[in-house]
């Protein structure tokens, strides 16, 4: 499996996921999230390699792999394995060389985690990751206020509007210094101010907004008592 960096996570239902399944010595099945295919379409005509990939995806054809591609798939098999890797030949020199260079990948770690989720590839500061039905993107934000609604300003205001391109937001993830601090689904945009670049988003369901406000007020009341 391969996920869209830097906020992608491993899982069949994750936005941006790519799954490569070797079924023979010289044949690999590739599965792409629709959002990944849409990103390919955005750069169609800019690269013969991407153009060939897109055309074969549309026609359900096959793609000849280069040595670089094969190295990429072998590396992903190594990084996503827990205890074993397989080869049609007794030749694991490349894998041993990679593990000698990066010994941290020898550790067997569970994908089930408790506590805050940290994405080491994310930039520091406050970052909002936006997911629509067909794509995902992230913008750095500031002047953040998080209650039943999330309001913020961004220097990437044009990017935010251009990427959305009229699509509805399905869910968002809010990161602070690489740590996931909040997620929200069923989103509606409350307001957009092009002058101040302030954007406010919240739950489409008003009951959820009332519930969150109630919990926030209760927490603030307990702090005042304490």
Q: Which two tokens stand for residue 61?
A: 């054809």
Tens digits of residue pLDDT in 68-127: 878 888 887 787 777 777 777 788 888 888 888 878 777 766 656 666 778 878 899 999
Q: What is the pTM of this model?
A: 0.64
CA-wise closest residue to 79 among 20, 141, 32, 28:
20
The whole-number pLDDT of residue 69 equals 79
Percentage, residues of the chain above pLDDT 90: 16
Range with the poorest average pLDDT among 8-17, 39-48, 195-204, 216-225: 216-225
Euclidean distance between CA atoms 86 and 77, whole angstroms: 9
Looking at every residue in the chain, the average pLDDT score rounds to: 80
Q: Where are the domains of the chain?
A: 18-106, 126-225
Percent of the chain with pLDDT over 70: 84
* Length of the chain measured in residues: 226
Q: What is the pLDDT of residues 1-37, one digit of tens each?
A: 556 667 766 777 777 778 888 888 788 888 887 777 7
**Residue 180 contacts by C-beta under 8 Å, 6 or more apart in sequence?**
116, 117, 118, 119, 173, 174
Q: Using the predicted structure, report yes or no on whether residue 199 has a pLDDT greater than 90.
A: yes
Under CATH, which number does the domain 126-225 receive? 2.40.10
Query: Cα separation of 72 and 37, whole Å?
Result: 19
Other C-beta atoms closer than 10 Å to the C-beta of 36 total: 21
Beta strands 136-146 and 149-153: pairing type? antiparallel
């Amino acid at each position: 499996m391969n996920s869209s960096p830097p906020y992608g996570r491993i899982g069949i239902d994750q936005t941006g996921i790519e799954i490569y399944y070797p079924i023979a010595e010289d044949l690999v099945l590739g599965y792409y999230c629709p959002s990944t295919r849409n990103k390919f379409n955005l750069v169609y005509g800019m690269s013969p390699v991407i153009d060939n990939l897109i055309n074969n995806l549309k026609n359900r054809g096959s793609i000849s792999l280069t040595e670089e591609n094969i190295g990429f798939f072998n590396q992903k098999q190594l990084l996503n394995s827990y205890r074993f890797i397989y080869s049609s030949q007794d030749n694991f020199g490349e894998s041993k060389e990679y593990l000698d260079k990066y010994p941290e990948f020898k550790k067997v770690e569970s994908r089930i985690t408790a506590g805050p989720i940290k994405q080491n590839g994310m930039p520091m500061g406050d970052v909002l990751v936006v997911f629509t039905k067909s794509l995902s993107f992230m913008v750095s934000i500031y002047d953040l206020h998080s209650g039943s609604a999330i309001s913020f300003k961004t220097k990437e205001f044009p990017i935010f509007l251009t990427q959305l391109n009229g699509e509805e937001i399905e869910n968002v993830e809010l990161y602070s210094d690489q740590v996931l601090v909040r997620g929200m689904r069923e989103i509606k945009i409350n307001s957009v101010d092009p002058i101040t670049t302030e954007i406010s988003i919240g739950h489409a369901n008003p009951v959820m907004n009332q519930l969150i406000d109630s919990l926030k007020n209760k927490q603030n009341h307990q702090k005042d008592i304490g």
